[in-house]
Amino acid sequence: MKPIEIAKDIFWVGCIDWNIRDFHGYSTYQGSTYNSYLILDDHVTLIDTVKKEFADQLISNIAQIIDPKKIDYVVSNHTEMDHSGGLARLMHRVGENKPLYCSKAGYKNLSMHFLNNWNYQPVENGGELRLGKRSLTFLETRMLHWPDSMFSYVKEDRLLFSSDAFGQHYAGLERFDDQIGDKIMPHARKYFANILLLYSQLVLDLVAKVSDMNLALDMICPDHGIIWRKDPSKIIKAYVEWGEQKPKRKALVVYDTMWESTEKMAHAIVDGLGKDGVEAVPMHLRKWHRSDIMTELLDAGAVVVGSPTLNNGLFPTVSDLFTYMKGLRPKNKIAAAFGSYGWSGEAVKLINRQLEGMKFDIIDPGITVQFVPDDKKLDECFELGRKIARALPE
Amino acid sequence: MDRYVCSLCGYVYDPKEGDPDNGIDPGTPFEDLPDDWTCPICGATKEEFNKE
């Protein structure tokens, strides 16, 4: 896609990755973009690059506006390779001696990705860089979502380059929120649930800090997806809501099944939940991607996990989900377990141990069924659904 | 001497090793770290560490 002038003399020169479907284990059904921004001023500045395989496209995008050699400054807001992978080719083209601005942690981390002697210029939190008519202010945003993450702010244009924060994995010809409307929100939400959830408190602290600083924002330009210009406060408000993790009357019912016994239990639990007006979908772990499950978990007040007992243990996909979920540290959940077994039946106990480890409030010891659930057992499952519904906030 | 874990990024402060890059000698207990010491990985303050 050709470059787009997003504000006077500020251009989006990023690349669209239309067909990526698996982004380090996160499902990206609609691709993604790697956003890079070029500022024309007395000192021409490039903010962030793209994935390595898109480096030529980035350089060609820049060349449609200005000879890449005329870039004076390069800024790296984040070391992760979807934003730094293009640096090697870019620096080669721009000039290896050109100053490369990054956070102090960025300096350390970039040095471990690229074996070279680039002219790194680690910046202080709050430090300013004069470009000419405008200046860049650097704001450290450690652990949002890497130690090196930072934002760059142009006060003259009231424009924030927010690195991965406020981004979305979405490939489209739209470059702005007003071109796509609310269709973008599920993508932003999925991004939060899978990348930022564990840093929810830092997100809330950052939003509070930014509002204390009275940082005027006409535009938020993330490194993935569309730019927020119509109403940047909309995504900030959404981040606060997601970060607070207030439990809703919604339950995540996830399970795997071998001979459909655990599945029957899942359906009965969902029935019971629905009876009392709780939103719930039975999610089979081999039909739903773990990153979609985490997105559903974001505002769910309850987590109900089912697993058959396989060779005295959990079904592998259940362990996979727990590994992933635990790392993202969801909060404020009630929980329960269920599962069928043939002769030993350890799964429910093992699920409860995992749920306890995540500090969920286990409201029932869980239901186990030997081999196939009869009507009585399915009624118990239905009642478990109702019990969870009663325990959820109105 | 106890090891302490950063609740933000998972870095473990091991008093046996100290934090020589930031002027903390090996053998310094967590309790004796200066108040303005921060996590060398993510910058979290001492309050954000928990005993391992």
Which residue from A105, A140, A143 is facing B8, i.e. has the nearest CB?
A: A143
Please, is A163 exposed, middle or buried when counting C-beta atoms within 10 Å of its C-beta (0-12, 13-18, 19+)? buried
**pLDDT score recorded for residue A67:** 98
Residues of chain B with C-beta less than 8 angstroms from the C-beta of A202? 8
Are B42 and A147 within 8 A, CB to CB?
yes
Provide, as residue numbers in chain A, all residues whose Cβ is less than 8 Å from the Cβ of B38: none
Identify the active-site residue in A17, A48, A73, A78.
Answer: A78
Q: How far apart (Å, rounded) are the C-alpha atoms in residues A338 and A49?
A: 47
Residue A154: pLDDT over 90: yes
Block residue for tokens 């979502």: A145
Instruction: Establish whether A83 is a catalytic residue.
Output: no
User: Nearest chain A Cα to B44, which residue?
Assistant: A142
Q: Which residue of A has its CA nearest to B6?
A: A143
The pLDDT of residue B44 is 87
Nearest CB to B41 within list A140, A147, A202: A147
Position A247 confidence tier, pLDDT thresholds 50, 70, 90: very high
Catalytic-residue membership of A24: yes
Residue A267 is a catalytic residue? no
Please answer whether residues A43 and A94 qualify as being in contact, where contact means their C-beta atoms are separated by less than 8 angstroms. Answer: no
pLDDT band of A27, cuts 50, 70, 90:
very high
Q: Which residues in chain B touch residue A199, judged by CB atoms under 8 angstroms apart?
A: 8
pTM of the model as a whole:
0.95
Helices and strands in chain B: count of H runs, count of E runs: 0, 3
Among A50, A90, A56, CA closest to A73? A90
Which residues of chain B does A142 touch, with a Cβ-Cβ cutoff of 8 Å? 42-43
Interface test with B, best of A142, A199, A203 (most B CBs within 10 A): A142
Identify from B6, B8, B38, B39 which residue to disrupt to test chain A contact, counting A C-beta atoms within 10 A and taking the largest count: B8
Q: How far apart are CA A305 and CA A351, in angstroms?
A: 7
**Is residue A334 pLDDT above 80, yes or no?**
yes
- Band of pLDDT at residue A12, cut at 50, 70 and 90: very high
Q: Shortest CA distance to A2 belongs to which of A48, A45, A58, A41?
A: A58
No. of helices (H) and no. of strands (E), chain A: 13, 22
Q: What does the pLDDT look like over A231-240, one tens digit per residue?
A: 999 999 999 9
Looking at residue B14, the DSSP 8-state letter turns out to be -
Is residue A289 part of the annotated active site? The answer reads no
With beta carbons less than 8 A apart as the criterion, state whether A183 and A234 touch.
no
Evaluate if residue A323 carries a pLDDT over 80.
yes
How do residues A180-193 score in pLDDT, each as one tens digit? Answer: 999 999 999 999 99
Query: What's the gap in Å between the CA of A79 and the closest CA on chain B?
Result: 14
Q: Distance (Å) from the C-alpha of residue B6 to the closest C-alpha of chain A?
A: 12
The H or E element that residue A339 is part of is strand A334-341
Q: What is the rounded distance in angstroms from the CA atom of residue A342 to the CA atom of residue A261?
A: 11
Q: Does A338 score more than 90 pLDDT? A: yes
What confidence tens digit (pLDDT) does each residue in A117-149 have?
899 999 999 999 999 999 999 999 999 999 999
Q: Contact B42/A143, CB-based, under 8 Å?
A: yes
DSSP character for A138? E
The answer on pLDDT for A29 being more than 90 is yes
pLDDT at residue number A394? 85
**Model confidence at A116: pLDDT above 90:** no
Amino acid identity of A237?
K
Give the 3-state secondary structure of residue A322. Answer: helix
Does A224 qualify as catalytic in the annotation? yes
Residue A214 binned pLDDT confidence (cut-offs 50, 70, 90)? confident
To probe the interface with B, which of A143, A145, A201 has the most B CB atoms within 10 Å? A143
Task: Tell me whether residues A202 and B8 touch, CB distance under 8 A.
Answer: yes
| B7-36 residue pLDDT tens | 888 999 999 999 999 999 999 999 999 999
A–B CB contacts, 8 A cutoff, strictly below: 15
Q: Which residue shows structure tokens 């490194």?
A: A223
Active-site annotation holds for A169: no
> Which residues of chain A are within 8 Å of residue B41 when distances are taken between CB atoms?
105, 147
B9 and A202 within 8 Å at the Cβ level: the answer is no
When pLDDT is averaged across residues A9-28 and rounded to a whole number, the result is 98
Residues of B within 8 A of A140 (CB-CB) are 43
Give me the catalytic one of A83, A145, A169, A187.
Answer: A145
Q: Report the C-alpha gap between A366 and A190 in whole angstroms.
A: 29
Contact B9 A143 (CB under 8 A): yes
